[in-house]
Amino acid sequence: MSEKLRIDIMTLFPEFVDFILSESIIGRARRAGTLDIRAHNIRDYSEDKHRRVDDTPYGGGRGMLMAAPPIYRCYKAIEENIRSSSENAEENKPYVIYMSPRGRVFTNEYAKELSEKGNLVILCGHYEGVDERLIEEIVDEEVSIGDYVLTGGEVPACIVADAVGRLVDGVLTLPECHENESFEGGLLEYPQYTRPAVWMGREVPDVLLSGHHANIDKWRHEKSVEITKERRPDLLEKK
């Protein structure tokens, strides 16, 4: 688990990203300084008088592409800022991901890898994508949140920032939150209940009211295995 994480998000909609990542646990961690999340408007780096950042694709075809130069300038400004605020520039070179349906599929395991990076830069695509040369020049890895296509990379970027951010030390207040949740240990989470003990005629399983911790742990593990077998047998095979 890393102790601090800075995430810079390059986007056409910085207010959107900032808003989503200002609430709840991630918002609290940002205010506490545990997570440093900054949204940058790529348009601010356009040299066009209308602040344009897109253009038509060479070779024809539908839609518009995000051009390389404004994104590159935005990235260089972030890199420079990281360098100027750290002692060891090489160690602090940001890891750059580009949100794209073409990328490596995002999982909790991958979130753990990213949470160790120290400095993460996320590029959000729009329109029909970005100029391939920009990807070659600055992107370490393309990342997909699943096999479907969204209208832009902002929602995926928020998902990655949330899943990665919550793994940073001190973001969640109780360390056990990580221990029993879905995907930890390769299993889905067991069912949980709170008061009242009977609701709509449905009773909380007796074992959970027994106070017998060994039996409760055993029951929870069995339920995790049962649910994983039923819903995600692929996880059990991997395990």
Task: Among 41, 100, 119, 224, indicate the residue that binds ligand ADE (CB under 6 A).
Answer: 100
Residue 167 near ligand ADE by CB under 6 A = no
Instruction: Give bridge partners of residue 10 from the DSSP assignment.
Output: 40, 123
Residue 153 near ligand ADE by CB under 6 A = yes
Residue 145 near ligand ADE by CB under 6 A = yes
Q: What is the 3-state secondary structure (H, E, C) of 158-198?
A: HHHHHHHHCCCCCCCCCCHHHHCCCCHHHCCCCCCCCCCCE
Task: Among 77, 150, 225, 227, indicate the residue that binds ligand ADE (CB under 6 A).
Answer: 150
Nearer to ligand ADE, 134 or 145 (CB): 145
Residue 7 near ligand ADE by CB under 6 A = no
Q: How far is CA 124 from the centre of its chain?
A: 12
Task: Give phi and psi for 171, each to the nearest 5.
Answer: -75, -45
Smallest distance, ligand ADE to C-beta of residue 142, A: 8
Nearer to ligand ADE, 25 or 150 (CB): 150
Stretch in the footprint of ligand ADE (CB under 6 A) among 83-91, 148-156, 176-184, 213-221: 148-156
Smallest distance, ligand ADE to C-beta of residue 151, A: 7
Task: Among 88, 148, 173, 179, indicate the residue that binds ligand ADE (CB under 6 A).
Answer: 148
Site string for ligand ADE, 117-136 (x = CB under 6 A): --------x-----------
Cα distance between residue 11 and residue 148, in whole Å: 20
Instruction: Give the residue from 50, 49, 51, 5 showing the smallest Cα distance to 160.
Output: 5
Residue 156 near ligand ADE by CB under 6 A = yes
Residue 141 near ligand ADE by CB under 6 A = no
Instruction: Give the residue from 54, 17, 33, 25 showing the smallest Cα distance to 157.
Output: 17
Looking up tokens 């996320």, which residue turns up? 122
Task: Among 61, 149, 176, 198, indicate the residue that binds ligand ADE (CB under 6 A).
Answer: 149
Residue 11 near ligand ADE by CB under 6 A = no
Residue 110 near ligand ADE by CB under 6 A = no
Chain residues that interact with ligand ADE, rule: CB under 6 A: 99-101, 125, 144-146, 148-150, 153, 156
